[in-house]
Chain A
Amino acid sequence: MENAKDTFYITLRNRLTSVNPNRTMLLRAVRRPGILVEEAEAPAAKLPLDVFVLRWTAVEMDMQLPSMLVRMTCEIHYTTAGTQANGGLDRGRALEEMDAELLQLLSPMNAQKMNYTTTQATAMGTDVFWTVPVFDSVKTLRDQLSRSVTVTVFVFQEQGEL
């Protein structure tokens, strides 16, 4: 399952560099694309602005098939307060922009599963694939607009895989 989670994140991150190369963040002294896995970073009281945050929640397994099919739920959270140049009055547009970017990041809805625990990432035998995103309604907190998007990720568990 961990390989599928890693593959999903790296796929979205690599796509973000071409969809919007300007969406970057400085995290742990590294400038990188503005997307992160919440459970792989230091805990924070507030989610960072203008960044996609991946949060893994539910896991279900289907044992009836020759290979076990794992179904995982990934919530993608993002928050914006608009830009300084527009005094935050463009926060609706900024959120809309992130919605559109996320749709592009999630298409095509599959990727070859990779193992990133080895020094050189190695390709595995099956794909990771996911459903169309379900967009939650916008949440407004004073000057911030937030949205949560749910994607169900499927993967076949391979022999000897954790």
Chain B
Amino acid sequence: MKITSILIANRGEIAVRINETAKKMGIKTYGIKTSKEPNALYLRLVDDVIDFSESAEEIPEFLDIERIIEAAKTFKIDSIHPGYGFLAENPYFARRCQEEKIIFIGPSDTAIYKMGNKTIAKQIAMRHNIPLLQGSQGNVRNEKEAADMAEKIGYPVILKAASGGGGRGMRIVENATQIEKMFKMATGEAEKAFNDPSVFLEKYVRNPRHIEFQIVGDQHGNCIHLGERECSIQRKHQKLIEESPSAALDEKLRAEMGDCAVRIAKAVDYYSAGTVEFLLDDDRNFFFMEMNTRIQVEHPVTEMVSGLDLIELQIRIAEGQKLPLAQEDVKLNGWAIECRINAEDVQAGFSPNLGIIEKISLPRGKNIRIDSGVSDYSVVTPYFDSMLAKLIIHAETREKAVAATIAALKKCMIKGIKTTIPFCLKVMNNTKFRKADFNTSFIEKELDTLFHQEPEDEMLAAYVAAFDFAADLETDRITIVDFERGKNISPWVLNKRLKSL
């Protein structure tokens, strides 16, 4: 069935991104307006806005399944794109869409369910001979069981929320003294974040690389992979910089891991876009971690090297179309790097930096792609995640991509809010990063500071402060004798005074 309209059940840059492809395909788009962000950029771009802001419900807008379904029915919208986060990996939501004859642009509810529950996912992987880490065969029920299990497989171990993702409900346990405390914290966090306190335990691989494969499948049993993404630059399991391809893989390993990714997807009759995550250790052993049954934040790097539009593929697959290409048609070109620009204060432990973006100017140009969810005067609220935009660079080689990323980051101008740009610059300038010699502990181990700084920066900042302080003093003094000394006012002071009028 051809899709003629899409309800975008998301916000921020991904709502903007989905809207862009939908419009290109001649599909009518609908956005959801919330009281938390009534002036958001995406609302200005979509064809029609459904207003959820007049009545406040207990359930957050983008998680309110029945309200979203109701809206789609009222406005006779064919399909819903969930983006990432919120309801993207909620099997019940996918099911409800199906029941109401609304096309869910994503995989089937059973595929979401099976892969979303990590315990089931692991069992499926095991059955299909996909390499796995040693760990609990199911959920760990209590502290005692966790301690026994950890003793058996050896410390360090990691506790993870069975329904988790994005680093929440994850705890590394170094030794037996910590296990009880960590178990409580992990279950508490899991309960809070996912409404499901169950956690499982597995061997923790130190210093692994995080490598994930983009796969796409159709509803006719075809499934291919579009190469990998290197997402090892993470802090507390939150990805900050991603690239494709990964310097750690060669053609042979890529084919081997890609084959595993496709096999696991096929095992659950997967269709739409999905991501299979692996850990890669120093000896190039890889282990299946989990599968994300949604479009990922970092999908643009794959789009840049593959030349494909993943949102378009998702829509076409949801319509029931066959994949337009086979595995051997996939050609990956050059190197792409993505930097996440988050409203976070890197100097204060990446704490959210809320406020108003007074002014934002991001670079444009050949091989520069900006996926942004904000504009001038956008408000950064505490209600949603802190990502503002993504800067994606495509170049022939990794070296050139890094150089181009540095140049582009220096042209990102944001006033009113602190962002992760100084952090991204710091990483790009790091020798080991440039040599592609890093793993998931890069941030803790390799960075002396978390932000980029030139030797003269502090002095210049001191000058700005002194200048402003002095200007205020001078203004006071000169106003009194203005008539006689009018001509003597320094241009700096005059400028300052004009501004304060």
Do A and B come together as binding partners? Answer: no
